[in-house]
């Protein structure tokens, strides 16, 4: 996730984003309640605009198999497949309330529930956050046919909280919006897209990455691990 841990690198990223890279808005497709990201992940839950309440939990479910079209090794850390996940992280973000809070970072989401093609997380909404409009934002770095892809997928969630209290854990700096990304032109798993059988080590996908600058993508990948 692009948190504000390195001011110099943040500045370099902002230069790349705002002077070299066109402002990007994440794109995704919702079909029968599933959100098909313009990357490899398919978000089964939550559905867009499903309300949340401070003190309750948000059930999160992500299909990492491409509806059975990706090899199981594609979601394992260190995979050498040409089509694979590098990381998948989740943050709750709101420009309205100036909140950017970690939901899941590092490899835990992809490595939990070994053998399961759908990863689940029941995340407790902290009572410290004020009511407002939030995005449950999925950051995916992956490779598709050997080419780097960086996809940002926001799921809008209005959150109610009649009485915010306490200090929020896992807070990060709120990043300038919109953030640059390098997604596929469409989901490779939505209707009309195809991918080769999961037994293939190449995992050829028909949807190509959108044009992007190598400098910006390199910075995005580097900052995600800072």
Q: Indicate which CATH number applies to the domain containing 122.
A: 2.60.40.10
Helix, strand, coil % in the chain, rounded to nearest 5: 15, 35, 50
pTM as predicted: 0.77
Query: Given pLDDT bands bounded at 50, 70 and 90, which one contains residue 37?
Result: very high
- Residue 221 inside a domain? The answer is no
Q: With contact defined as beta carbons under 8 Å apart, do 102 and 172 qualify?
A: yes
Cα–Cα dist 119/113, whole Å = 7
Q: Please determine, for residue 196, whether its predicted confidence score (pLDDT) is greater than 90.
A: no
In a domain, 39, yes or no: yes
Phi-psi region at 213: left, alpha or beta (left = phi > 0; alpha = psi -120 to 50) = beta
With H, G, I as helix, E, B as strand and everything else as coil, classify residue 138: strand
Q: What pLDDT score does 219 carry?
A: 43
Structure tokens at 128: 């410290």
Examine residue 145 and say whether the peptide bond preceding it is cis (omega within 30 degrees of 0): no
- Reported as a single tens digit per residue, the pLDDT across 106-159 is 999 999 999 999 999 999 999 999 999 999 999 999 999 999 999 999 999 999
In this prediction, residues 177-186 reach a mean pLDDT of 89
- Return the H-helix or E-strand segment holding 60: strand 57-63
Residue 2 lies in a domain: no
In a domain, 217, yes or no: no
Mean pLDDT, the chain, integer: 80
* Contact in structure between 1 and 139 (CB atoms under 8 Å): yes
Residue 40 lies in a domain: yes
Read off φ and ψ for residue 89, nearest 5 degrees: -125, 160
User: Containing domain of residue 194, as a range?
Assistant: 25-212
Strands 42-45 and 132-144, bridge-based pairing: unpaired
pLDDT at 192: 63
Total domain count for the chain? 1
- Does 141 reside within a domain? yes
CA–CA gap between residue 97 and residue 43 (Å, rounded): 25
User: pLDDT band at 205, cuts 50/70/90?
Assistant: low
Q: What is the pLDDT of residues 17-34, one digit of tens each?
A: 333 333 344 467 888 889
The answer to the question of residue 186 being in a domain is: yes
Closest CA to 58 of 83, 91, 9, 88: 91
Residue 222 lies in a domain: no
């Amino acid at each position: 996730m692009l948190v504000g841990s390195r001011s110099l690198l943040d500045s370099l990223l902002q230069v790349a984003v705002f002077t070299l890279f066109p402002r990007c808005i994440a794109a995704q497709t919702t079909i029968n309640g599933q959100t098909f990201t313009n990357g490899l992940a398919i978000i089964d839950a939550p559905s867009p605009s499903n309300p949340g309440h401070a003190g309750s939990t948000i059930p999160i479910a992500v299909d990492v198999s491409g509806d059975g079209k990706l090899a199981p090794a594609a979601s394992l850390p260190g995979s050498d497949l040409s089509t694979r996940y590098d990381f998948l992280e989740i943050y709750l973000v709101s420009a309205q309330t100036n909140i950017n809070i970690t939901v899941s970072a590092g490899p835990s989401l992809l490595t939990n529930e070994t053998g399961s093609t759908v990863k689940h997380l029941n995340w407790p909404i902290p009572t410290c956050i004020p009511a407002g409009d939030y995005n449950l934002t999925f950051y995916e770095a992956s490779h598709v046919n050997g080419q780097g892809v960086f996809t940002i997928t926001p799921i809008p969630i209005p959150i109610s909280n009649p009485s915010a209290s306490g200090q929020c854990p896992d807070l990060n700096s709120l990043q300038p919006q919109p953030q640059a990304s390098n997604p596929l032109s469409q989901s490779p798993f939505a209707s009309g897209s195809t991918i080769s059988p999961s037994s293939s080590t190449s995992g050829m996908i028909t949807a190509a990455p959108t044009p992007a600058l190598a400098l910006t993508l390199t910075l995005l990948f580097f900052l995600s691990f800072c």
